């Protein structure tokens, strides 16, 4: 009876069941993909399943505040602070793994690395999948036979990650636990917001890294709730004329609200999350632009088995061969993702890996 009355539990179970439906059928994909695409950066089936399953799980876990272990929590601000710090550490660790991969293979930093054995998986500093490969290795071990072919676990990249990188999964689990704790003792609005941002943050860790859209949404959204969650609760509570939300909001006022700051300093603190968001986006685009080569794509194919490739759909400007390696210069008129995808079929089971230089201008 308690379960039936609890909207969080009901919503959570429905979302998890929906994730299960997405796992076994594509019937809802045309309807949800245009929505999830916005905040999951080119959503895929795997990310859609993960999003709804995790969102449902977090909604269920919001009810942990009723357990005695959480009764002593007066505020979760310190928890969110630690959560944000550990998240930044994990994102930086992923970038270090990308740099290490390129240093070991003698690759340029501003390239996308595509492993072809046993299947195609790509990674770059702008959109890393190295942590995903570790998680994918675990999933393959546990439920390998049940993973469908259209779900990319990134397992091809696993051999390029050092063993010590497995420790990052411990950090990921710690962040998940902190997220669960942070959701407790929050008013309804910021509680639901934090559930959504927590899911995006976890997906960002596994699929994209620091400069990906889900990571930006998750990290900056969590920071926004940390700084201004009170105002979302308070004003939406007033709009809905819900005294419960208003009273719960008053239990988590922003640290700068009750201090005797000048008006300018108060406004600065209020706007700080939005300033951080702007600076983060500026950094994200700066890295993309600085590493781009707008003149041509440099495609390096390593350890090719058969060099008579059918590349009629790719505008090749020049070709250089050395031993079992080939370097193509491809016209920048082609979209970067199209270049990567067009090489997928000709190079399947035909090379160890290949790299493609960045060209963010091709998306403009």
Split at pLDDT 50, 70, 90, the class of 69 is low
Contacts for 342 with CB less than 8 Å, ≥ 6 apart:
311, 313, 314
What is the DSSP-derived secondary structure letter of residue 297?
A: E
Statement: residue 5 has pLDDT above 90? no
Angle, helix 29-40 to helix 45-61, in steps of 10 degrees? 80
pLDDT above 70 for 222:
yes
CB atoms within 10 A of CB 192: 19
User: Which range (52-56, 102-106, 360-364) has the least confidence?
Assistant: 360-364
| Residue 87 in this model has a pLDDT that exceeds 90 | yes
pLDDT of residue 4: 47
CA atoms of 58 and 182, how far apart (whole Å): 11
Check whether 219 has a pLDDT greater than 80: yes
Specify the pLDDT at position 172. 95
- Which class for 210: exposed (0-12), middle (13-18), buried (19 or more C-beta within 10 A)? buried
On the question of pLDDT at 1 being above 50, the answer is: no
pLDDT of residue 244: 87
Cα 102 from Cα 173, distance rounded (Å): 27
CA 107 – CA 99 distance, rounded (Å):
9
Q: Whole-angstrom Cα distance, residue 84 to residue 204? A: 14
The pLDDT confidence band at residue 125, using thresholds 50, 70 and 90, is: very high
215 closest CA partner among 257, 172, 258: 172
* Average pLDDT estimate for 74-91: 88
Q: What is the mean pLDDT of residues 190-218?
A: 94
Residue that wins the pLDDT comparison between 90 and 187:
90
Query: Taking 60 as the threshold, does the pLDDT of residue 3 lie above it?
Result: no
- Model confidence band, residue 59 (pLDDT cutoffs 50, 70, 90): very high
**DSSP, res 156:** G
Average pLDDT over residues 162-183: 92
What's the mean per-residue pLDDT of the chain?
A: 86
Supply the pLDDT for residue 72. Answer: 61
Q: Which domains does the chain have, with CATH numbers?
A: 2-91+167-290 (no CATH), 294-364 (3.30.70.260)
* Residue whose pair of structure tokens reads 């005797």 in the numeric block: 260
Average pLDDT of the residues in 169-179? 94
Provide the whole-model pTM: 0.89
Percent of the chain at pLDDT exceeding 90:
41
pLDDT digits (tens, 9 = 90+) for 279-294: 888 888 888 888 888 8
Higher pLDDT pick, 72 / 185: 185
- pLDDT at residue 281, rounded to an integer: 85
**Interior angle at CA 24, CA 23 and CA 27, nearest 5:** 95
Q: Taking 90 as the threshold, does the pLDDT of residue 252 lie above it?
A: no
């Amino acid at each position: 009876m308690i379960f039936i009355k609890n909207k969080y539990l009901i919503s959570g179970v429905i979302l998890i069941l929906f994730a299960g439906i997405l796992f076994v059928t594509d019937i809802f994909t045309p309807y949800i993909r245009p929505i999830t695409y916005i905040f999951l950066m080119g959503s895929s089936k795997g990310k859609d399943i993960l999003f709804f399953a995790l969102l449902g799980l977090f909604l269920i876990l919001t009810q942990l505040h009723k357990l005695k272990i959480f009764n002593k929590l007066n505020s979760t601000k310190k928890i969110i602070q630690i959560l944000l710090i550990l998240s930044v550490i994990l994102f930086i660790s992923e970038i270090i793994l990308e740099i290490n991969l390129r240093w070991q293979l003698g690759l340029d930093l501003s390239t996308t690395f595509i492993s072809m054995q046993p299947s195609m998986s790509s990674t770059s500093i702008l959109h890393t999948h190295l942590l995903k490969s570790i998680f994918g290795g675990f999933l393959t071990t546990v439920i390998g036979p049940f993973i469908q072919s259209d779900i990319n676990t990134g397992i091809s990249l696993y051999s390029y990650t050092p063993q010590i990188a497995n420790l990052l999964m411990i950090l990921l689990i710690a962040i998940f636990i902190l997220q669960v704790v942070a959701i407790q003792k929050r008013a309804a609005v910021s509680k639901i917001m934090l559930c959504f941002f927590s899911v995006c943050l976890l997906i960002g860790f596994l699929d994209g890294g620091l400069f990906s859209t889900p990571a930006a949404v998750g990290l900056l959204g969590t920071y926004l709730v940390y700084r201004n969650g009170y105002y979302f609760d308070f004003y939406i509570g007033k709009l809905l004329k819900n005294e419960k939300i208003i009273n719960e909001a008053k239990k988590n006022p922003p640290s700068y609200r009750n201090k005797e700051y000048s008006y300018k300093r108060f406004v600065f603190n209020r706007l700080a999350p939005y300033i951080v968001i702007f600076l983060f986006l500026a950094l994200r685009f700066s890295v993309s632009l600085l590493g781009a080569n707008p003149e041509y794509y440099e495609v390096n194919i390593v350890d090719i088995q058969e060099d008579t490739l059918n590349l009629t759909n790719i505008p090749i400007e020049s070709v250089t061969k050395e031993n079992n390696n080939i370097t193509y210069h491809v016209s920048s008129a082609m979209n970067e993702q199209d270049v990567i995808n067009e090489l997928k079929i000709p190079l399947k089971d035909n090379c160890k890996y290949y790299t493609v230089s960045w060209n963010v201008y091709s998306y403009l």
